[in-house]
Amino acid sequence: MNALMAIGAGIAVLTGFGAGIGIGIASGKASEAIARQPEAEKKINKTFILGAALAEATAIYGLIIALIIILVK
């Protein structure tokens, strides 16, 4: 395996860090919002789960790109 391929795959996997940080910040803000307005919990949870799914999708795309870089020569 070429060294540049390994570096490219490593950089592609780094998208997981951004997704993890984003989900962490979003869950903290959702907890604060629920604490301030408990009656809006259902709306806040729906929005948070949708946002978390989209952030996690970017991490999965990064993993797929890394696998493609490694497996396709």
Domains of the chain, by residue range, sit at: 3-14+23-71
Q: How does pLDDT run across 30-66, given as a tens digit for each residue?
A: 999 999 999 999 999 999 999 999 988 998 999 999 9
Q: What is the DSSP string of the chain?
A: --HHHHHHHHHHHTHHHHHHHHHHHHHHHHHHHHHH-GGGHHHHHHHHHHHHHHHHHHHHHHHHHHHHHHH--
pTM for this model (two decimals): 0.75
pLDDT at residue 14 tops 70: yes
Please name the CATH architecture into which domain 3-14+23-71 falls: Up-down Bundle (1.20)
2 band by pLDDT with thresholds 50, 70 and 90: confident
Residue 12: predicted pLDDT: 87
Residue 1: predicted pLDDT: 66
